[in-house]
Each structure stands twice: as structure tokens, then as C-alpha cells.
């Protein structure tokens, strides 16, 4: 299907930005210059710039040319998207460095999150996720024993855990998300390459299978200078409940 003119303009500008022809802080050619170059009115130019702005590639200011900014990838949290797929969707190259895969006894907090008894066996995974080689997110994952044990059969640096578990019969049917901001602890700081105490974004997830059983609880910590979270404009789940809830609600 042929792309529209504004998409062609956006594609060309995006290519120039990602190739480094336009660097962070540089002005994008003005609307008038782009309209002349593409022999069009300013409407398609504005649509192209709006598309790049929504991707976090440029900022637009009244009366001045758009400017290239340090990119923040948008991560939707009202849907569940595997990190690997999300990075591919935003045009990046995903990577992983597994720090730990261990079988241990669940403490009270993890047992409560998973709906199991304290002392039951669980599998913990600590994995650093990268975008284009840049440390972006630190996963702290805990699985019930039955599910987590299959992770010992694969190199976790090379797979999407979500997709791998699905292939082993442990599909994700329902996911609860909770977002907050925390100060980077020593492990966060070391692996995410930030100073201890730096504000980072935390996404806590609880995942259930088709049988309604909780099988994963995770604590994902993102560098806030690289990622921003987004939520559907409606702010409502299909059954009518809010995606965003007050604490204790």
C-alpha cells in the first residue's frame, strides 16, 4: 500500500535523525523549507512533525523550527507487550544480560504476590535489558516453581521470556500493572549505569495464566531518561474499571 506524503516526509526526517545527520539539539528544517523541498503545503509537513514528536524524536515550539531531542521510548502500560517486541516496534535492537537464575524459598512478600505459601519454591531471575546496547531496564522476576524451572533449559540472553514461556504452555492471559518511581539502589545503579539514588521508573507486574493462577510477579526498573510510560487516552479498561487507581482503591 502506498504511503501518504506526510509519512514519506516523516520517514525521511526519521532516517536523518537516526543516522546522525540531524543531532540532538539541531533544528529541523523549517516548515517553509520542507514544504518547498517536498513541493507541498504545510499541512503534510505539520503532520510529519507531529508524528516525530509523538515518537519522542523532536520537540516543536511556536514560531521556531522543530528541534531534535534525546529520544525517550514510549512504553504502553495499559497493554502487555514483551520487551523484545516493544524494542523492535520502536526501531531498536533489544539485548539481554542475565545476572541470576536461581531456585529458592519464597519470602512472605513474594509468596503473597504469587498467592503461594511462604517457603514454597520459586525461581528468581535478574536480567538487564538493553536497547541498542544501552542499559535501559533491570528485571527482577519471580516465578512459581512449575513455570520457572523451564527457564533453566534455555539461554535467557537470547530469548523473550514471555514468548518462550508461551511456547512451553505458560501463556500470559491477564496482567496487572502498578507504576511508581523509586531511587536507584546499588544494584540498579551498577547495572543501569546511573548514580545511586537517581529517580527511576518502576513497573510492578503480576501475571496470570488462562486458568486464573498467578505464576509471575516482577519488579521492572527503567531509566527515566530513556523510557516514558503511556496509557490509553480513555483511561478505562473494557469492563469499565480504571487503569489508573488511587493507592488502596
Percent of the chain with pLDDT over 90: 55
- CATH code, 73-230: 3.40.1410.10
pLDDT of 9 higher than 90:
yes
Q: What are phi and psi of 173, to 5 degrees?
A: -105, -30
Q: What pLDDT, on a 0 to 100 scale, did the predictor assign at position 244?
A: 44
First to last CA, the chain: 47
Q: How much of the chain is helix, strand and coil, in % rounded to 5?
A: 30, 35, 35
Q: Burial letters for 176-201: b for 16+ Cβ neighbours within 10 Å, e otherwise?
A: ebeeeeeebeeebbebbebeeebebb
Which grid coordinates belong to 60? 516543536
Domain 5-68 has CATH 1.10.10.10: yes
pLDDT tens digits for 127-154?
999 988 889 999 999 999 999 999 999 9
**pTM score of the predicted model:** 0.65
Q: How do the domains of the chain map onto residue ranges?
A: 5-68, 73-230
Amino acid at each position: 500500500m502506498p504511503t501518504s506524503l506526510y509519512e514519506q516526509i516523516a520517514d525521511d526526517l526519521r532516517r536523518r535523525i537516526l543516522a546522525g545527520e540531524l543531532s540532538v539539539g539541531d533544528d529541523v528544517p523549517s516548515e517553509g523549507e520542507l514544504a518547498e523541498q517536498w513541493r507541498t503545503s504545510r499541512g503534510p509537513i505539520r503532520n510529519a512533525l507531529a508524528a516525530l514528536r509523538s515518537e519522542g524524536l523532536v520537540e516543536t515550539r511556536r514560531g521556531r523550527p522543530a528541534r531534535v531531542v534525546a529520544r525517550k521510548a514510549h512504553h504502553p502500560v495499559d497493554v502487555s507487550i514483551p520487551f523484545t517486541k516493544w524494542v523492535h516496534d520502536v526501531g531498536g535492537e533489544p539485548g539481554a544480560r542475565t545476572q541470576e537464575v536461581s531456585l529458592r524459598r519464597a519470602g512472605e512478600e513474594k509468596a503473597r504476590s504469587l498467592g503461594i505459601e511462604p517457603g514454597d519454591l520459586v525461581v528468581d531471575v535478574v536480567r538487564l535489558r538493553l536497547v541498542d546496547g544501552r542499559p535501559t531496564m533491570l528485571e527482577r522476576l519471580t516465578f512459581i516453581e512449575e513455570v520457572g524451572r523451564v527457564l533453566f533449559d534455555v539461554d535467557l540472553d537470547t530469548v523473550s521470556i514471555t514468548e518462550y514461556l508461551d511456547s512451553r504452555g505458560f501463556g500470559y492471559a491477564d496482567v496487572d500493572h502498578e507504576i511508581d518511581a523509586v531511587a536507584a539502589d546499588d544494584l540498579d545503579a551498577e547495572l543501569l549505569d546511573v548514580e545511586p539514588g537517581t529517580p527511576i521508573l518502576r513497573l510492578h507486574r503480576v501475571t496470570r495464566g488462562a486458568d486464573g493462577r498467578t505464576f509471575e510477579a516482577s519488579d521492572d526498573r527503567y531509566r527515566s531518561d530513556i523510557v516514558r510510560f503511556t496509557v490509553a487516552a480513555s483511561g478505562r479498561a473494557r469492563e469499565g474499571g480504571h487503569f489508573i487507581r488511587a493507592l488502596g482503591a
